[in-house]
A and B are shown apart, each in its own frame.
Chain A
Amino acid sequence: MTHQMHAYHMVNPSPWPLTGALSALLITSGLMMWFHSNSIFLLVLGLITNILTMFQWWRDIIREGTFQGHHTPIVQKGLRYGMILFIISEVLFFTGFFWAFYHSSLVPTTELGGYWPPAGIKPLNPLEVPLLNTAVLLASGVSVTWAHHSILEKDRINAIQALIVTISLGLYFTLLQIMEYYESPFTIADSVYGSTFFMATGFHGFHVIIGSSFLFICLMRQLKFHFTSNHHFGFEAAAWYWHFVDVVWLFLYVSIYWWGS
């Protein structure tokens, strides 16, 4: 019987990259059908296959790492590099939207009246709900760190509690933003102000939902005893992502909500 003489993980053949790529095709073509041909079918099919791919692919990774022991230290290092590079790519993604905002707001055109916020726009008061949102996310950064330390110190109950607090704060942020969007006196169609505001805050909110979901999965795994005090990379990846989401919000708050008002 042959054994591998190295510590790397030679992953077994898997259908999920293909189903993921196909789901991407269905989503993009589905969007076109929805926009132009009044049909939502392809899009829904694409979203379902996308969610199924994510569920099954990540379930397999958990099986390989947590149950089968394939995630040796060097494999974990690769996963760390991967998560870091992914977050860097997300930073660049948001950089685009911040570039658009500063391009439009630093030299406001004559159509806007030559000033920012533009003519007719009443911006949200940065000292009201946006400030609360800032406090909520900063607090969630503290609680996720509490969760991490609890895991490191083998404190199961505190880890669970801290994760619940973090996820609840994330949900609270999302609910507050939904309410703000609903009550907002301006829409995405209201000049370049509306465009830059809703594109930047909208994608940020989407990332909050992704981060909260990731943390929720970590909570489920913690309840099922997946994490040990010295091996819990899934949690660390979620925590890094969460901190990234928090930092993006801080930039949003200072640039768009505060300076931009």
Chain B
Amino acid sequence: MEDDIKTKIKNCKTAPFDSCFPNQNQTKNCWQNYLDFHRCEKAMTAKGGDVSVCQWYQRVYKSLCPISWLSNWDNQRAEGTFPGKI
């Protein structure tokens, strides 16, 4: 059990440094990856491609974004009131 936790902690990764967003305020990083994933997903499903290529963006935004923001944005997309351009 202890080993499992230690290896788990060693293997734990998060979003790497992105030089496009070098400052402390990472809001834009979260936002941009959220947009990029959903744009990628929309484009791939429209062309009948493989959505798994979009996985990177999803992993980044799921790591960086506050969960309340994500549920808010997902609700907005469902209602058609999401302000971003996807």
Contact = CB atoms under 8 A, between A and B. Distances in A.
Interface of A: 110-115, 118-120
Nearest to B69: A110
Contacts of B85: 113, 115
Contacts of A110: 27, 31, 83-84
Contact of A120 (B27, B28, B35, B83): B83
Of the candidates B27, B31, B83, B84, the one having the most CB atoms from chain A within 10 angstroms of its own CB is: B83
Which secondary structure dominates chain B's binding surface?
A: helix
B61 to A, nearest CB: 12
A224 B86 CA distance: 67
Of the candidates A110, A111, A112, A118, the one having the most CB atoms from chain B within 10 angstroms of its own CB is: A110
A113 B76 CA distance: 12
A230 B83 CA distance: 61
Interface in B53-72: none
Given A114-B35, A114-B83, 9 more contacts: A110-B27, A110-B31, A110-B84, A111-B83, A113-B83, A113-B84, A114-B31, A119-B83, A119-B84
19 contacts: A110-B27, A110-B31, A110-B83, A110-B84, A111-B83, A112-B83, A113-B83, A113-B84, A113-B85, A114-B28, A114-B31, A114-B35, A114-B83, A114-B84, A115-B85, A118-B83, A119-B83, A119-B84, A120-B83
Nearest to A111: B83
B32 to A, nearest CB: 8
Interface in B15-61: 27-28, 31, 35
A68 B31 CA distance: 70
B26 to A, nearest CB: 12
A243 B73 CA distance: 48
A111 B73 CA distance: 10
Nearest to B84: A113
The 10 closest A-B pairs by CB, nearest first: A113-B83, A119-B83, A110-B31, A113-B84, A112-B83, A114-B84, A114-B31, A111-B83, A113-B85, A110-B27
Contacts of A111: 83
A122 to B, nearest CB: 14
B37 to A, nearest CB: 15
B54 to A, nearest CB: 19
Contacts of B35: 114
A111 B31 CA distance: 10
A114 B31 CA distance: 9
Of the candidates B28, B31, B84, the one having the most CB atoms from chain A within 10 angstroms of its own CB is: B84
Contacts of B31: 110, 114
A60 B28 CA distance: 60
